[in-house]
Amino acid sequence: MDGSVDAKDVRAFLLSRYGIELTKDQVRTVIFRGLAGGEGEDDAIDILEIVAILMIPMLVKVSDELLGSRPGGARMSSIDEAKKRLLPPATIIEDVLRDILRDTTGGDYDVEHPPPLTPALMRQIFLEYDELELVRDDDLIQQMIDMVSESSKSDKLKDGDEASSSPVLDSKTFAGALTKDTNLYNPETETRYSEVLDDVFPDGFEEDVTNIKNTEESANGPPSLVGETFRTVTTFSHMDYTADNFVHVIHVVLVWLVVVFSYFWYMNGVGTPEFLVDSSDNFGRRVGFAVFRWTLTMLKLVIVGSGVSFLLALGNGVFQKSIVEPIVGLASVAVLVFLPYYFPEKNFVFNTALEEPSHEHYTYSELLNMMIVFGVLLIIIQLKNLMTIFFGKGDYLKKNPAFVFMENVLGSNINRAYRSKQAAVYKINEMARSAYDLHQLDEKAAGITKLKREVSIQESGSQTPISNSKVGNEGNRQQTGPGGRSSREIALQKYNDLVDESEEVGGIIWAWKGYISGNLGVTEGVWLPSRLIAANAILFVTIVVVLYICTIIFTGFIWELEDLYNTVALKEVIYNEQCFTEFDYNDCYFPFEEASFYSGVAVCRDVSLSGPGCMDLFEEVTPESTFGSAIGNICDSFNAAFAPFELQVGDLLGGASCPYVLDAAKQSVIEILAEFNYSPNDAEMLYNACYRINYMEDEDISKFNEWFDDDTWYPDITDETLTGCDIVSSIVSNETFVNSFTGREEAAYVSFQICMAIYKSLTPRPFCEQPLYDHIESIITYERNRTDTEFCYSYLSYCVADPYNPSRGTCVIGEADQKYYRFEGSTCDEYPTPWLLTLTAAMGIIGGLIAALATTLVYIPSSIHTILKFRSGVIASLKDPKFIDYRKNLHNQTYLIGSMFWGLIISTAIVTFLTAGITFLLVWPTTRPIVVEIATQAIGIIITVLVKVVVCFVAMRSAYSGFYRSKPMFANVFNVALECWALALTLALVAGRLVKFLVITSFYVGRIDRPVLADGLFLQVDMLPLVFRQNLLSTESHRRPYIEMLGQMYLMKLRHRENFGSKAGSIWRLLFVSALMPWLKKKRIQDNNIKLETLRSFVENQGSSKRIQDASVEVQYTMPAHKENADEATEPA
């Protein structure tokens, strides 16, 4: 592909970008004629002609400054920084003319001493720049001279000089020749907040067939379309996701948020009508019904989704100027967003009557409020659109701060178009500057050239000066002369040296910073597709939704498990009639040692010690004797078991502790019971006993009376006792804490209940100060939630008995006979502790959140980098034969939003459950030994491989020198030994490769911007990266700054016809570009069948120049068989 543009391409561009419909003949005769340098008979314009067209704005501004033809000039002393960036190289026309004259005349003429502008000079210039077809075009040559003759004469008269019969080719004449036919271009549009179409057609054009007569209207009047017709077609610009012909990007984002989440909430999972449900065993019938159901699903989504998108987007098209569209859009928001929310409906198409989950702990109804937020924002945008239509885009709105603020916040496409226009101007200016810099020699190269031209080395080694050498005296600019190099040769050589160089850009932060600040839009003209921006916004909202849903799933699972623990029916299994013990898994604390691994024992609260003989199975010990236990100091571990409750009290009361709360309650109890002649100690004992009795079940009371029937220390519990305890327990209430916790009485009473549950006494005693008992013989304790066949039991070791309820105690379980982790039974490993599940859920959610954010945040930078790589050639385009694949199946772009949405959900879910699974396996006692074993093996392999790497590094340095062996025998033996060892090692390598593939694909399944599978695989099934690039290239083909500028020139030609662009002016600009960028000549489309002898004869007859003797050298670009000077003929690859 040579990069040329034919009439078919221009026709397709104008129709796709602006909705202007032309025929190919009209493109050739109206746009190509004059603008591309031909008469309209050519079917294409080449790269050189395209660059010449793009140079028009820059040349107009330089020419205006040079000639002073435009009021105010292009350079004002008070110009702001934004406009300074748009200023072109001030001397570019003069500098290029200097190169043209020096390369053509061999230094006989210069800008300061210009030659007469004659047909002979023009033919010589054509020969110099290989425009061989134009050498014999006398009419064209005369037109090129005539178009500048009048302006040149007027300039001389204006300056007071006598007008000569023939103009000279000086900088002013050259500037006039370059821009006389394009002066209708107005540089002020470059800094105007407007679309290109509005710049060229400020009053718009009719949407039906337009017939314009050949009139002599002024340039600022209506369009002048001579003898041709064109018409515009309806494009539904509010749904144009290819050319992005929108008013606001945020409007597009909100429409797609409503569409996607309407499907997510209202249509996803909607049931199939009963008549389509086939339960038969006939395979064919089931396939037929499946096809029908999926077809119905397709129809529902296509009809409903397209309708919702179409109606909500009305009013957001740049070509929609009627008041009807925003009004219909407002009504659509009410019907399609608010109505389903407030008036539920259920049918086989959609279901807005959502039912909440049955569990009381989690709900997703709050997420539906986002639809209301989307609707409100859409209403604000539509009201702004109505205001724009009512008041227009005049000074009133531009001066209104609210309007300006909304334009910026809502992501106005006018702002993006403004930046794109500035980027086009900036990039063309920089292109011209960079191109001209290649014509200049650096200091070293200039010195070498000067040396070559001043001396020649004789055979004897002596040096003889060359008296007639011409040495430039203007810095590093060198004249053409004996031993010298032309400006074109220098540029070609430097271009060839730089053609493979590239420039690195920043990473993710640089891309986001440049995109948000708008710098990338102003300097590079990066225009991200609205479809991509909408998809990325959907991903951010999806992260919140997924995070919320994952949270309620995990917490709901934990709550369900806790409910399971608490609701399993108790099955009484009496193994010892004298003492039967039970513990609750949820009331256990699992202490960790300093090494942070589980010690294998638990401290459980409220262990049931049921039976009169329980106390006989223990003996009292001192706390100091337990320091050698598996958990260290037993009394400290007992205190740690209740630490979370102490913290809860502190949170409720702003740092207050249990002793302070219980003391306040005790004082109240003592004061009230003192009226009934109870001493302080008796009052406290009575309240403590009643607290214990009030929490006993009827069965517990009967067993208590039976077991302690003969014990005077524990009197029987009677009805009178229960009645009295009810009265005693009511002593402590919210009012008890009025004086001590004013304003926080309720929180104080809750804290009191928590503290009593811990210490069972109004006077809390640290566990180290309470009697500690150790088992005399093995005491089995059962987990409360069990069945006859499925249960978990362990052993009691140390206990602190409840002094007011001897049937309860706080005990260490899981230790017997100095053997730890003594939990046995079929269900012991089936009930993970709550902290384990909480940790698993937290790690899973954190991992998923990080993966989701990483995926979402990378799309915008990845898009920017991909666009810049395509532009710079890092990703091949025209030179890549596979590039044509991007132009096929463009409908695949419709997969983008759905793929990014579901890709994020799936990848986040995979990473979430993968992280949670790994965490669970690491902390779950059942699987931890397996994980530890795998880890030990992996560490062993890694250490072995590291040793191998060190040995190989040392051995290979002495045995190899690159690919060659310095010690063949040692190298052979060493390699065979390694190969034998690799038979075992490669198993781990292949397994590790599989794991890496699984992990990487899990992370990248949601990244459609990067290909995961390599090119050239037998099964190339991943098309989404191609779709991603297709979307970028599709928008680039409409919105790239160069294409926008080229489109503006097309529109200028379409409007002004013969008043804008001429063949003579286009040829002048072609010569300018040929001199400035000689490497573009290889893309020039020319007739290679020119006969050299005929051309030589014609030129000699004209007597145009003394250099015609070397005409064979001048035409060597098109006739490679006759090359005589290889250096001059070289073009960059």
| pLDDT tens-digit map of 275-327 | 555 556 677 777 888 888 888 888 888 888 888 999 999 988 888 778 888 89
pTM, rounded to two decimals: 0.69
d(CA 439, CA 480): 13
Q: Give the pLDDT of residue 1069.
A: 92
Residue at token pair 């994020």: 904
Strands 588-589 and 229-232: unpaired
Q: Is the pLDDT of residue 157 over 50?
A: no
Q: Give the pLDDT of residue 1117.
A: 32
| Cα separations in angstroms, 420 against 520, 526, 914, 944, 1031 | 10, 8, 44, 58, 18
Q: Residue 369, SS3? A: helix
Q: Which amino acid is at 317?
A: G
- Written as six digits, the tokens of 832 are 């993970």
Q: Give the pLDDT of residue 1107.
A: 42
Closest listed residue to residue 547, CA positions, set 842, 255, 917: 842
Q: Give the pLDDT of residue 839.
A: 81
Query: Residue 200: which residues within 8 A CB-CB, separation 6 or more?
Result: 1048, 1051, 1052, 1054, 1055
Q: Can you name the residues that pair with 406 across neighbouring β-strands? A: none
Measured from the Cβ of residue 596, the count of other Cβ atoms closer than 10 Å reads 6
* Mean pLDDT, residues 1041-1064 taken together: 90
Among 354-363, 412-421, 445-454, 1068-1077, the least confident range: 354-363
Measured from the Cβ of residue 893, the count of other Cβ atoms closer than 10 Å reads 21
- Please return the burial class of 873, using the count of CB atoms within 10 Å of its CB with bins 0-12, 13-18 and 19+: middle
Residue at token pair 């091949």: 876
Residues 178-227: tens digit of each pLDDT: 999 898 998 888 888 888 888 888 877 654 334 333 333 444 444 444 44
Asked if 744 contacts 752 with a C-beta cutoff of 8 angstroms, the reply is: no
Q: Can you name the residues that pair with 609 across neighbouring β-strands? A: 581
Among 29-43, 822-836, 927-941, the least confident range: 822-836
Q: Is the pLDDT of residue 830 over 60?
A: no
| Cα separations in angstroms, 261 against 331, 364, 368, 860, 961 | 20, 13, 9, 22, 63
Residue at token pair 């003391």: 663
pLDDT > 70 fraction of the chain, expressed in percent and rounded: 73
Alpha helices in 924-967 (DSSP H): 928-959
d(CA 124, CA 1109): 12
Report CA torsion sign: 849, 855, 861, 864. negative
Residues 912-969: tens digit of each pLDDT: 888 888 888 888 776 777 888 888 888 887 888 888 888 888 888 888 888 888 888 8
Q: Angle, nearest 10°, between helix axes 92-105 and 487-498?
A: 120
Measured from the Cβ of residue 571, the count of other Cβ atoms closer than 10 Å reads 14
Residues 548-607: tens digit of each pLDDT: 877 777 777 667 655 544 444 334 454 566 778 888 877 777 765 433 445 567 888 788
pLDDT higher at 620 or 537 = 537
Q: Give the pLDDT of residue 1073.
A: 92
Asked if 802 contacts 809 with a C-beta cutoff of 8 angstroms, the reply is: yes
Q: Is the pLDDT of residue 770 over 80?
A: no
Q: Can you name the residues that pair with 610 across neighbouring β-strands? A: 580
Q: Is the pLDDT of residue 537 over 60?
A: yes
d(CA 400, CA 481): 64
Angle value at C-alpha 544, between 541 and 547, nearest 5 degrees: 145
Q: Is the pLDDT of residue 862 over 70?
A: yes
d(CA 45, CA 43): 7
* Residues listed for the chain: 1133
d(CA 1079, CA 1081): 5
- Confidence tier at 1101 by pLDDT (50, 70, 90): low
Asked if 649 contacts 616 with a C-beta cutoff of 8 angstroms, the reply is: no
